[in-house]
Chain A
Amino acid sequence: MNALEVRGLRVSFEHPLGLVRAVDDVSFNLAPRERFGLVGESGSGKSTMALAIMRMIRPPGHIDGGDVLLGDGNLSDLSGEAMRRARLAGIAMVPQGSMNALNPVMRVGDQVADAMRDHGVQPSDIAALMARVGLPSGTVDKYPHELSGGMKQRVCIAIAICLRPTVIIADEPTSALDVVVQRQVMRTLADVQQDLGAAILLIGHDMGLMAQFVDRLGVMYAGRLVEVAPIAEIVRRPRHPYTELLIASLPSMEQKEPPRGIPGLAPLLRDLPSGCAFHPRCPKAEGRCVTERPEPREVAGGVVVRCHFA
């Protein structure tokens, strides 16, 4: 049984200038204890995906279709109250904590406690929880503005694990941190994940970070999942042209030539190209790509691609 299963998820937003398809028929699975990464450019729909999984999409957005299974339960069938209880206890989110994710007028210890309380658990051992994520015991009584970016991020991790969820979604947890702190936080995240036996969905845009952390990687483009593969495989032999260009654009120590970028701009989600969304920028594009949307195909062990030529 998978820890998390996403099947054919579709999310769109109403906009006066057109319908924005933020998530377009996305399916993937997370095995227990697995680390799954989701990369994409800004505006590719990854953060929307995270919110959709937690059923936190608000008007003018709505979930148009698809199912999300947590373990053996279908989240889409749950009532509002049941879904509320599932959040944090079953599936938890670690946001970009160094931004604004913590209530500025409450002590951070209280922000862990109120989560526990609203789930029917007596708050206890919060200091121990802080220590677990590498924070000094005095942190419990501090206000968010008294903490550094890295510390705030750790507090968010502490909140995410306090009820021992089976799935953790980390949405760009280190984007606003410097590299040294980034490494520390990722290590903490890996530690607690091991400890809990939870699966992690890591969302971000830093391929280097993904390569070091995840077991499998999913690549999103224009709201669609264009490739899913084990990390070693995807770096060594990317199948989708977009993934290929992404990997090629990573700077490496041995490379002498300047890094290559990807020509063109990511399309507006409300004005997608017909057929395969990548065709305007794809070096391999042909007539078929303009008219026919590629469906996901398994081309090798564990490698699923949306491309006519993979």
Chain B
Amino acid sequence: MRLLYIARRFAVFLLIVWLAASLNFFLPRLSGQDPVRTKLLAEAQLGGYVQAGIEDMVQEYNRKFGLDKPLWRQYVTYVGDTMRLDFNYSIANYPRTVRDLIAEALPWTIGLLGMTTLLSFGIGTLLGALLAWPGAPRWMRYVMPPLWALHAIPFFLLGLILMYLLAFQFQLLPIFGGYSPGAAPGFNVKFILDVMAHATLPALSIILVSTGGWALGMRGMMVTTMGEDYVTFAEAKGLKASTIFLRYCVRNAILPQTTALALALGQILSGAVLVEVIFGYPGIGALLFQAIRENDHFLIQGIVFTVIVALGFTTFILDVLYPWLDPRISYQRS
């Protein structure tokens, strides 16, 4: 019954985790060569900026993934490592491990994404619901077209425009980074305000673009819901307008809207990565960008794996919560 449903969903989640690890293993090797080993060898041969320990790394890598080892053996080692969250050392930032770097950057991204998604989903859904309702204030109709037009463009584009306008021209907000250079991280008010100031532009780029999409979707769901028989009957029952709006219309329209949220998470994340890159916001996205620039394959693989797993887990949680929202979906069915 209920446990079986959760177990199935969890199995799907594990499948995703396994697929992510396999992806990281096989894709780079598809071109016939292993770009990691190439990179390591190249680094090892470079004079100049030699990172101590690269020799050790190359040896370690050969030990685990050496060309003399059969592919399946390498694969098993790789998956085993990944399951233990051992993503190896960062090639470009040796001796720091990939896991450490990710652990540092992840909270920034979660903070940004969590807050912006909640805000844009919340505001957008409410706005969309009100727009569909005949009794809503008239001024709301004027808010819609700009939001609608905005949501068609990628987050980072708006980010660039906002950066120019607000940070450069009018100098209202900081341009770059997660916090001012030299500021000491700590849980004091000054630092927190600094962080929030720096997060404002990235957050705004995401919120302004996403809200329109959610509003549009919710408005559509509301229009469909308002045409249903149970809404007509609710009115015939002499219910108050607020009751009909909230408990009959919104409560039903929000179901497909939530499904849309679960499906959109991947896209939102992709967009957020680019936003972080533009603003130098020290999250996963900026880390990934840096890793690509430095050809740090271990770091790239580690980030991709972490993100896929995080998303898979979030989707899993949403899947499990959904029947609680919609009693028609029983825990029995898949």
Contact = CB atoms under 8 A, between A and B. Distances in A.
Contacts, number: 73
B328 A145 contact: yes
Interface string B229-245: 11011111111100100
Interface in A81-140: 84-89, 92-93, 95-96, 99-106, 114-115, 118-119
Central interface residue in A86, A104, A143, A159, by most chain B CB within 10 Å: A104
Instruction: Assign chain A's interface to a size class.
Output: 20 to 34
B132 to A, nearest CB: 14
A115 B235 CA distance: 10
Contacts of B325: 105
A104 B251 CA distance: 10
Contact of B240 (A84, A106, A156): A84
Interface string A211-234: 000000000000000000000000
B191 interface: no
B230 to A, nearest CB: 5
A99 B233 CA distance: 11
Contacts of B230: 100-104
Interface residues of B, number: 22
A114 B234 CA distance: 10
A56 interface: yes
B104 interface: no
A44 B234 CA distance: 25
Central interface residue in B234, B237, B243, by most chain A CB within 10 Å: B237
Given A100-B229, A101-B230, A102-B230, A143 B237 contact: no
B239 A99 contact: no
A289 interface: no
Interface string B248-284: 1001100100000000000000000000000000000
A4 interface: no
B241 to A, nearest CB: 8
A54 interface: yes
B228 interface: yes
A100 B252 CA distance: 13
A93 B328 contact: no
Contacts of B248: 103
B229 A106 contact: no
Contacts of B294: none
Contact of A104 (B232, B233, B236, B328): B328
B238 A95 contact: no
A2 B229 CA distance: 30
Contacts of B247: 103, 106, 114
B326 interface: yes
Given A143-B327, A145-B328, A102 B238 contact: no
Contact of A87 (B236, B255, B326): B236
B238 A115 contact: yes
A95 B233 contact: yes
B228 A87 contact: no
**Lowest 3 A-B CB distances belong to which pairs?**
A87-B238, A100-B229, A88-B238
11 contacts: A54-B236, A84-B239, A87-B236, A88-B238, A89-B238, A95-B229, A95-B232, A95-B233, A103-B248, A104-B252, A118-B238
Given A92-B236, A103-B247, 15 more contacts: A56-B235, A89-B238, A92-B237, A93-B233, A95-B229, A95-B232, A100-B228, A101-B229, A102-B233, A103-B230, A103-B234, A103-B252, A105-B325, A114-B243, A115-B237
